[in-house]
Structure 1
Amino acid sequence: MNGIIILTSVLISVLCVLITLLQHYYLFYKYYKKPPIRYEIPIFDDFIPTDDRSLSNYDYSQEDDTVLQNLNALLDSADSVKKNVEVSETEVYNTLQAAIAFRLSGKIHKAMKLFEHAAAISPADADVLNRYGEFLEETQKDIVSADELYFKALTHSPDHPAALMNRKRTAQLVDRLDSEMLKTIDSKRDILKDMFSKDSYNTIKKQAYYLHIYHTVGIEGNTMTIDQLKYLLETGQVVPGKSIIEHNEVLGLQLAMKYVKLLTRKNYISINDILGIHRRAIGHVDPVKSGRFRTEKVFIGKHIPPPPEEVPTLMEVYEQWLNSEEAQNMHPVRYAALAHYKLVDIHPFNDGNGRTSRLVMNLILIRAGYPPVMVLKEQRDKYYDALNAANLGDVRPFVRFIAQCTIQILDMYMHGSEVMSIENGDKKEVINY
């Protein structure tokens, strides 16, 4: 009898151990499994210097400053955007009819100006948006912009018959153009990889690093010039005439970029990683709220982010999506753009959401073998317009905008590398694109 009791106890103990092991295995697989994609070792992470000495010991000459200014000049493309004003329906109607009349008479330039004016003074008028789209499609062959206008028209008037018919025609064409753009990006990326395998191009990497910080903080309103920013990062000395906040924004972004470089070796992006990026980017400016989710309701223009009590749950869902097969099977540029938009849409922090989202975007791009992308301060309006389009339900303009920024940066790196080869006298290494 005692033997049966002992044997039963042993069997129960073994069974309990097996159940415990199975539970541990399940939890480990569910929460810590590696994503299905195997990432290559990043080759563009060294655009971010590892430590301060890599900047302070670098011999900057007047020639290097010229390269930096030339690179930034390549990226200058400031556009003016008209402000919306209160107008009557009669004025909108008359402007639209005049634009159509000029179009029919062949006066395309005047018609363009009137269509632009009509769309500016009445951005929610479906007839204006649809007619403007038709004009761009017919006279400028700009299918992408036309498709965006048709979508906006349907946002304000879902049953608009002409806009419905037009968008049914253009949507597939635009998808095809977007796919071709992504192929172009991959082709340029491969060329750049080959170029960097032949030479280190240390100077252009350092200059691109400064440009990245300059434009990233510039979008948020920082007024430091490139020369002032360089002086701060190289010497650690105060820039006269600039606020403490502007200094701290630059220093914080530098720390955050170095942290992103460390994260490129990880296969899993966690909430703690995102909090760590935010803590470094904003820590100098607001040490109390940095690395913490917001506890107040916020308003971003016409967009109202989720209430603060929903943020932790939404961030858990976001983390699962970031590391899902669905997300990682996308083209990396699309994946990075959507990761940026989804995070800024949740708006988990009181401040620094844009900077953190752009850093997460670049973490994804660098892990996938692409150079970090910068959104230029001159592109601020286009950037926010694309985000607003995503808020209305069409994420394609935002993905397209990030793809265009990626091409822009690839071209800048390749052109800058070519310039450096010429200036170094090594003409055999020059590749014409």
Structure 2
Amino acid sequence: MNILVIIISVLLSVICVLLALLQHYYFINKLYKRPSINKVVQNYPIQTIDNQEEDMVLYDLNSVLSQPKKTDRVEFIVKNDKVMGTDSEVYNTLQAAIAFKLSGKSHKAMKLFEHAAAIAPENADVLNRYGEFLEQQHHDVVTADELYVKALTYSPDHKAALMNRQRTAPLVEGLDYQLFRTIDSRKDFLKKRMKLDSFDTVKKQAYYLHIYHTVGIEGNTMTVEQLRYLLETGQVVSGKSLVEHNEVLGLEKAMQYIKLLVRTDYIGIKEILGIHRRVMGHVDPIASGVFRDEKVFVGSHIPPPHDQVPALMESYVEWLNSEEAQSMHPVRYAALAHYKLVDIHPFVDGNGRTSRLIMNLILLKAGYPPIMVLKEQREKYYDALKTANMGDVRPFVRFVAQCTLQILDMYIYGTRFLSIDGITEGKENRLLTIAEF
């Protein structure tokens, strides 16, 4: 009998332990269960926006923008921040790069030329030799020409750079002209498709992408789904700061204002201040729509003193509405309008967003869709602006031209896949539409 009691007691103890373990496991799993991807990324009831077709358009347009573009041009960025090497280090690196070039080891030569340009960004010999390498080995005349110009900026009498520049200048001018012709042909093609019923859907989703990338360049961390939810419902997005909410709301108001300004013939101080007031009105109501009254620094660039801003803005507006400016190709005109304003830097904050909106206002007036600078293009965008500050604005104009091509391709793709390929077609098949153009 005693043995039976002991056995029963042991069994009861084992059962209690098992129950305790199961209970512990259940609560731990419940407390620390990893949330779904939707909850991690969104953290708000996105299911209230129930339009599967529009979701698909948004996803696919964003995918097109993310597709790597085929190009013969080498991705090259010269860092203007000085990371200087010793004279001997620069000389040895340059000589090694030339030796690898002559021996046919192009990849190793490229790495050494890149390193030489990084440690000696103002060395005319390095810049000139690097340009020659890109021109001869990669047939990249445009980047080579930019390097020759940089070399002459630091050493105006550099004979080799002068000779190279004389040869490449007319070639690059022809390529730039061809680029603008390509933009015009795609614009004309898109214009024929604007009457499609599907175009409104494409424009609506492109609108969200525009806001997403524009505020994203400035550091806003909202996803495109989150800002879309904010704008469509007016409800707060959990986990995002008040400033990020206000940046999105302010830009949305400014873009609506731009639509009204498209109908006007004159862009004046009042209109520019009105754009900035809407961009920054939610973030900083006191400084919004007011010229700065303090000195500012933009990296290594020092904008004009604040007491010169009113006069400079008067000159800017005069140029903006001049026959000279308006007779340019619209893309060049828009790019220069952007650069000239951001160079003056008339506001304490919001200069980039205001400049990009004025750029798009000019493009909209000329019949182009508004362009967007992608978050992923941030480094190239700022590098082109730095190069313009050094005296060569052509790379920035080309950057804006490439962004224009990019947005035209996105719209062409969007209207084609909605009207021809159909929503239910496979994504890989739909991506062929741009290549066919």
Same fold (TM over 0.5): yes
Deviations 1:36-59 (A, max 9, x none): xxxxxxxxxxxxxxxxxxxx9x97
**1:157-168 to 2 correspondences below 5 Å:** 157-168=155-166
Measure how far apart 1:239 and its partner are: 1.0
Alpha-carbon distance between aligned partners in 2 of 1:269 and 1:340, rounded to the nearest angstrom: 13
Alpha-carbon distance between aligned partners in 1 of 2:190 and 2:340, rounded to the nearest angstrom: 29
Alpha-carbon distance between aligned partners in 2 of 1:253 and 1:338, rounded to the nearest angstrom: 22
Measure how far apart 1:157 and its partner are: 1.2
Alpha-carbon distance between aligned partners in 2 of 1:63 and 1:95, rounded to the nearest angstrom: 56
Cα distance change on mapping 1:267 and 1:357 into 2, 3 Å? same
1:76 aligns with 2:66: yes
Moved more, 350-359 or 63-72: 63-72
Alpha-carbon distance between aligned partners in 2 of 1:331 and 1:240, rounded to the nearest angstrom: 45
Alpha-carbon distance between aligned partners in 2 of 1:347 and 1:287, rounded to the nearest angstrom: 18
Task: Identify the residue that residue 64 of structure 1 maps to in structure 2.
Answer: 54
* Equivalent position amino acid for 1:423 in 2: G
Task: Identify the residue that residue 151 of structure 1 maps to in structure 2.
Answer: 149
Task: Identify the residue that residue 346 of structure 2 maps to in structure 1.
Answer: 348
Alpha-carbon distance between aligned partners in 1 of 2:76 and 2:57, rounded to the nearest angstrom: 27
Alpha-carbon distance between aligned partners in 2 of 1:91 and 1:71, rounded to the nearest angstrom: 47
Task: Identify the residue that residue 214 of structure 1 maps to in structure 2.
Answer: 212
Equivalent pair of 1:77/1:379 in contact (CA under 8 Å): no
1:105 to 96, 103, 117: 103
Measure how far apart 1:231 and its partner are: 1.1
Task: Identify the residue that residue 203 of structure 1 maps to in structure 2.
Answer: 201
Alpha-carbon distance between aligned partners in 1 of 2:410 and 2:296, rounded to the nearest angstrom: 37
Cα distance change on mapping 1:335 and 1:202 into 2, 3 Å? same
Deviations 1:311-335 (A, max 9, x none): 1111111111111100010011111
Task: Identify the residue that residue 417 of structure 1 maps to in structure 2.
Answer: 415
1:296 to 294, 297, 303: 294
**Aligned positions, number:** 375
Moved more, 415-424 or 99-108: 415-424
**1:386-425 to 2 correspondences below 5 Å:** 386-421=384-419, 422-424=421-423
Alpha-carbon distance between aligned partners in 2 of 1:390 and 1:376, rounded to the nearest angstrom: 20
* Equivalent position amino acid for 1:271 in 2: I
Equivalent pair of 1:334/1:399 in contact (CA under 8 Å): yes
Task: Identify the residue that residue 308 of structure 2 maps to in structure 1.
Answer: 310
Task: Identify the residue that residue 277 of structure 1 maps to in structure 2.
Answer: 275
1:325 to 323, 326, 331: 323
Cα distance change on mapping 1:113 and 1:353 into 2, 3 Å? same
* TM-score normalized by the length of structure 2: 0.82
Cα distance change on mapping 1:368 and 1:335 into 2, 3 Å? same
Structure showing greater Rg: 2
Equivalent pair of 2:198/2:415 in contact (CA under 8 Å): no
Alpha-carbon distance between aligned partners in 1 of 2:195 and 2:188, rounded to the nearest angstrom: 11
The residue matched to 1:269 in structure 2 has which SS? coil
Task: Identify the residue that residue 368 of structure 2 maps to in structure 1.
Answer: 370
Measure how far apart 1:389 and its partner are: 1.1
Measure how far apart 1:85 and its partner are: 3.7
Measure how far apart 1:73 and its partner are: 2.4
Measure how far apart 1:77 and its partner are: 6.9
Task: Identify the residue that residue 133 of structure 2 maps to in structure 1.
Answer: 135
Measure how far apart 1:131 and its partner are: 0.4
* Equivalent position amino acid for 2:327 in 1: N
The residue matched to 2:292 in structure 1 has which SS? coil
Measure how far apart 1:60 and its partner are: 4.7
Alpha-carbon distance between aligned partners in 1 of 2:110 and 2:120, rounded to the nearest angstrom: 15
The residue matched to 2:195 in structure 1 has which SS? helix
* Equivalent position amino acid for 2:60 in 1: N
Alpha-carbon distance between aligned partners in 1 of 2:76 and 2:134, rounded to the nearest angstrom: 19
What are structure 1's unaligned runs of at least 5 residues?
Answer: 1-55
Measure how far apart 1:200 and its partner are: 4.5
* Equivalent position amino acid for 2:56 in 1: T
Equivalent pair of 1:133/1:147 in contact (CA under 8 Å): yes
Measure how far apart 1:87 and its partner are: 2.6
Measure how far apart 1:61 and its partner are: 2.5
Task: Identify the residue that residue 185 of structure 2 maps to in structure 1.
Answer: 187
Measure how far apart 1:419 and its partner are: 1.9
Alpha-carbon distance between aligned partners in 1 of 2:193 and 2:417, rounded to the nearest angstrom: 13
Measure how far apart 1:423 and its partner are: 2.2
Moved more, 283-292 or 384-393: 384-393
Alpha-carbon distance between aligned partners in 2 of 1:239 and 1:171, rounded to the nearest angstrom: 51
Alpha-carbon distance between aligned partners in 2 of 1:95 and 1:73, rounded to the nearest angstrom: 40
